[in-house]
Amino acid sequence: MSALDRVLTPGLTTGGLVLRVVLALLPCAALALALPEVPHLIVTALVVACSLRWAVTPDHPAGAAALLLVGGWWAVHDVVDWRVLVVAVLLLTAHVVATLLAHGPATLPVDPRLAGLWLRRALLALVPVPVAWLAVRGLDADLAPSWLWLVVALVLGALLVLTSRLLAPEVE
């Protein structure tokens, strides 16, 4: 029995394996966009470790840790160029992939209707990202602290969740 066989669930579909690899790579890619500035070794190691754990168990809190580490790194480094938009897409994609994988056992293939539903929700969540980015870019750098982007993203995310909860059809 190889080390890979011990980590992977028996009966894991090829699509499930591909999604798990993508899930492991997305937060790492979002942090790698910081290059040529190299993130601290501890941050990089934590993001890689949390991403790998998240890929193995998509409903594990390590996923939130990976997202928060990457988002926090970007927030404290005064970066509000075009890369922040790509990071937002990568982190949201990772969240959606993990949500799809967490909807059932590893041996269950992802339902295309469920994937379509979460794709639509992700696109809805991306709508305010360029608006918030433009607002942050337009603010005076002396008056707008570096953490403002993260606060704006969290507030907009909370508003989107609240809106989707209020507008969601009731299940009988």
Read out DSSP for 44-101? Answer: HHHHHHHHHHHHHSTTSTHHHHHHHHHHHHHHHTT--SHHHHHHHHHHHHHHHHHHHH
How many residues are there in the chain? 172
pLDDT at 55 exceeding the cut of 80: yes
- pLDDT tens for residues 57-87? 999 999 999 999 999 998 888 777 889 899 9
Predicted local confidence at residue 26, as pLDDT: 97
- Decide: 131 and 153 in contact? Cβ < 8 Å: no
Side chain identity, residue 15: G
Residues 6+ apart with CB under 8 A from 146: 75, 76, 77, 78
Predicted local confidence at residue 154, as pLDDT: 83
Q: What is the mean pLDDT of the chain?
A: 85
Higher pLDDT, 44 or 108: 44
- Decide: 24 and 55 in contact? Cβ < 8 Å: yes
- Decide: 27 and 90 in contact? Cβ < 8 Å: yes
Distance CA 160, CA 121 (A): 10
Give the pLDDT band (50/70/90) at residue 109.
Answer: confident
Q: What is the mean pLDDT of residues 147-170?
A: 76
Domain ranges of the chain: 3-167
Distance CA 108, CA 33 (A): 33
Give the pLDDT band (50/70/90) at residue 134.
Answer: confident
How far from the centroid of its chain's Cα atoms is residue 126's Cα? 12
Predicted local confidence at residue 5, as pLDDT: 60
